[in-house]
């Protein structure tokens, strides 16, 4: 089987955002894999932005994600306390700029009031049920969080941690080394 790409076949990342009872949590695992090999187990794929008022998690190419996060920070400075507007402006630039259009990453961005998924095809999506996920184990984490979010006695952080644990048990590209940021 030949791979025509000159780039390594990097896999990994599960990013999950949960909003419950006025708290928002973004969690990301730490695994980075190349093919069948775990290259790093403690990568930090979740970052606080805008003086700690916004949290962003990324899946995909790290360099591409850092470029997008830098652009997002500039948009947040341009539109303070307007997360949706900053994300829509970023998505517009990402879709129309020749350089940005080639970036291969996805973002989950959250503040105290909302969660948004931002993609390179111009999508800025606010999830239903207060839960969003991206990455290799995203569907597993999303399903688990959706099942757990209505459980009494579990706050947003507990839901995120349990759902990420379930994803790590199922997805070989996800591990239990978590970065968790709470707003």
Catalytic residue positions, numbered: 13
Closest CA to 14 of 28, 24, 26, 33: 28
CA distance linking residue 131 with residue 116, whole number of Å: 10
Cβ atoms within 10 A of the Cβ of 106, count? 23
- 15 forms bridges with which residues in the sheet? 28, 134
Backbone φ, ψ for residue 67 (5° rounding) = -60, -45
| Residue 147 exposure: Cα atoms within 13 Å on the Cβ side | 11
Backbone φ, ψ for residue 34 (5° rounding) = -125, 110
């Amino acid at each position: 089987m030949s791979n025509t790409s000159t780039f390594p076949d990097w896999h990994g990342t599960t990013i999950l955002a949960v909003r419950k009872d006025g708290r928002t949590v973004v969690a990301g695992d730490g695994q980075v894999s190349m093919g069948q090999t775990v290259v790093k187990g403690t990568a930090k794929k979740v970052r606080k932005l805008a003086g700690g008022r916004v949290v962003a998690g990324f899946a995909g190419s790290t360099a591409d994600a850092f470029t997008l996060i830098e652009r997002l920070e500039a948009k947040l400075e341009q539109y303070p306390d307007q997360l949706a507007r900053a994300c829509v402006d970023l998505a517009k630039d990402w879709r129309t700029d020749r350089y940005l259009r080639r970036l291969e990453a996805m973002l989950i961005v959250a503040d105290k009031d909302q969660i948004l998924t931002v993609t390179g095809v111009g999508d800025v999506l606010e999830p239903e049920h207060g839960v969003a996920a991206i990455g290799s184990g995203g569907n597993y984490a999303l399903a688990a969080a959706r099942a757990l979010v209505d459980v009494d006695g579990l706050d947003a952080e507990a839901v995120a941690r349990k759902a990420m644990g379930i994803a790590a048990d199922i997805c070989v590209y996800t591990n239990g080394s978590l970065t968790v940021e709470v707003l």
